[in-house]
Copies of this chain bind each other. A is one copy, B any other.
C-alpha cells in the first residue's frame, strides 16, 4: 500500500539526486531517511566532490540519521532512495536495519548510464578466487584468535 507520504518522500529523494548532480557534488543519486512520518536525514552522492568513494546518497543519509538519533540502528525507519542501492549501500542498509526501502530507478537503469552497480553485483556472486580484484587469503588462524577473544569478551556491545 503506497501512501501520499511515500510519494512525497520518493519525490524528495529524486529532487536531491538532481540537486547533487547540478551542484557537482557527485553522481545523480539522492536519499532520505524517515521516522514517524518525518524526514530525519537526507543525502546526495558526494563521491567526487569529497574524494570519498563511500559517500553514496544512502550512506550519507544513514550516517546522518544515526548521528541524529544517537544510535547505530535505524529501528522503525524507512529509507527512500532515487535508485536501487548498490551492493555497498545495500550492505549499509542491512547493517542499519531500517524497516523498508523505497527506490525509484533500478540497478539496470544505473548500469545504463555508466555506473558499476550491476558489475559489482556480478562480482559478489563469483567465487572469491575468480574476482576482477584479486583476493588472497593469508594468516587465517591468527585472525581467528582475535575472533575467539571477541566471543569471550565481557560486556561487549553486539551490533
Contacts and interface: CB of A to CB of B under 8 A. Distances in A.
Interface of A: 2, 6-7, 10-11, 14, 17-18, 21, 24, 26-28, 47-48, 51-54, 59, 62-63, 66-67, 69-74, 82-84, 86-106, 109-110, 112-114, 116, 119-121, 123-125, 128, 133-140, 142-144, 146-151, 153, 156-159
Contacts of A114: 151, 158
A3 to B, nearest CB: 10
A7 B140 CA distance: 11
- How many of these chains are in the complex? 2
Contact of A72 (B28, B52, B89, B144): B52
Contacts of A73: 53
Nearest to A6: B138
Contact of A91 (B86, B97, B106, B148): B86
Given A124-B121, A149-B21, A143 B53 contact: no
A103 to B, nearest CB: 6
A112 B147 contact: yes
Contacts of A120: 90-91, 94-95
A104 B148 CA distance: 14
Contacts of A103: 135-138
Contacts of A150: 21, 27-28, 113
Contacts of A62: 53-54
